[in-house]
Structure 1
């Protein structure tokens, strides 16, 4: 059976790497937990498109994923669960992941399992994003081909994240990487501009193939400044901001829900401890009372013996 073609969008990738950064890489323990969550997107006969994702504690993955899907559906009603992800140190799935995968994706034969290899994230020799998409075939995880694609709304959303770089949650290394990418893009645009100016001034001989490629690139860049463009741009910008906000709200709701569960467990344990201490105290009082009564009886017997001797 063939594997599907997978399209991964940047917003999903940002959410996954952020989850891994806080849950696994910066956990501060010798045994970091896996960062896991749900993949949402669109699926057709030819490919599976992963548009976004949200994190859930692994212990609550099956019970809480429907709540996250419901929150996301408020913004994107057409999105559905297309799989799940896990960020782990060795990048190898667990034996129990086969059953967990089946419970998440159900009967969907193209349900995805994204594996983020944490140990390769900061290796200098790594030239690709250390993620692997898999589908389940004959009780085995089989890798799939994938490509990264984006739409205008996502590019605006990423730009919004860059502009809000004062957030303490933004990693310094990530900022430097994004700044370097923007600087590289600017240099490439400068090269195109110099080439066009050279052709215009007659310094460089025109090449129709190169000019056609440049025209294709320029046609994808919005340069108009009319009311229609501004209205569409503002609408896309607002949609992107709303998407980013919803991702933050989902993350916050997950953290709050997890803290509530932890509080309830701690409270239950504390109440059990108090009840046990109270029970032990009552038993101790009963033992002391018994000893006092027994001592009184023994004293009475001794007094009787002394009276009989007299």
Structure 2
């Protein structure tokens, strides 16, 4: 099966026999995806040309035992026809080298594709990425944007297994894997903004909020969580709820650490630093304004 012009596409061959002395790599059992990677995939899909039915790209992340954490992704140029598929793997390798300089801990874990169609070309591309991730198996993350009739939007992850006594690169079966979205605390404000816009009844998109508003929302969230904890503790003490030893230990560890920090004066020290920085910033701003006015007054 031709794979397009040899200038930019790579001709994919089957993998060689593995070393029997080396232990077999673990097959991943769960996939987690960060919002940055998912949004990059959707942005790539929105920027596709009219002739493209789907877009593909490289997934980067880290492996923890049999779990893969997808942290970022980048687009890879490719074209498909009824007779051939061409993938610009030179561009793929150049992009990975640049990304590796910025995030050396992230490695290639697989690739992504939009849509729900898994065909022979998908098996060929999967075979190439399996060589890129060897000795670990490559994963495929299929993102359905919800534009196909009868197909709901969603994300599905797969790994592959060869089929046949003498398997060929285009012969494999895709095995579904559990996948979930995970985000760090630093990404929460962006995720909340997107989810709030999606659930808004109006068509007007929300605008990014200021840092003060983010802090205000965070304080309200903490206040609500403290109310829930207080209601739980009062209910246990009053005998209306059955106490959970695990929750009790968690609250003791959390509140004990916070109280210890307060007793050490850590909060007061941090507050003093913040006030000092704010005072110096206002002083510099006032000095700059005075200098600008003097310059205007003495100008000829």
For normalisation by structure 1, the TM-score amounts to: 0.50
Displacement of 1:149 after TM fit?
6.2
Q: Tell me the equivalent position of 1:40.
A: 60
More helix by proportion, 1 or 2? 1
Structure 1 position 5 matched with structure 2 position 20: no
| C-alpha contact (below 8 Å) 2:112/2:141 kept by paired residues | yes
Aligned counterpart in structure 1 of residue 243 of structure 2, from 208, 233, 236 = 208
Bigger Rg, which one = 1
**What value does the CA root-mean-square deviation take over the aligned residues?**
4.5
1:131-186 Cα shifts (integer Å, max 9, x gaps): 232324322232242343646xx330342x358x6xxxx79854759x9xx99x88
In structure 2, what is the Cα distance between the partners aligned to 1:46 and 1:66?
A: 25
Q: Which residue of 2 aligns with 1:299?
A: none
Contact 2:28-2:66 at 8 Å conserved across structures = yes
Q: CA deviation at 1:121?
A: 8.7
The answer as to whether partners of 1:83 and 1:104 remain within 8 angstroms in 2 is yes
Distance change in 2, residues 1:72/1:214 (3 Å): farther
CA contact 1:37–1:84 (8 Å) conserved in 2: yes
Match of 2:273 in 1: none
Q: Deviations over 1:245-283 (max 9, x none)?
A: xxxxxxxxxxxxxxxxxxxxxxxxxxxxxxxxxxxxxxx
Q: TM-score, normalised on structure 2?
A: 0.52
Call closer, same or farther: CA 1:99–1:132 in 2, change over 3 Å.
same
Does 2:136 align with 1:112?
no
Cα distance in 1, alignment partners of residues 43 and 74 from structure 2? 10
Per the TM alignment, residue 98 of structure 1 is displaced from its structure 2 partner at its CA by: 1.6
| 2:73 aligned residue | 53
CA distance in 2, matches of 1:187, 1:36: 44
Residue from 156, 180, 183 that aligns with 1:148: 180
Report the Cα offset of residue 7 of structure 1. Answer: 2.6
For these two proteins, the number of residue pairs brought into alignment is: 206
CA distance in 2, matches of 1:94, 1:117: 15
Alignment partner of 1:99 out of 116, 124, 130: 124
Kept in 1, the 8 Å contact 2:161–2:173? The answer is yes
Alpha carbons 1:42, 1:80 under 8 Å: kept: yes
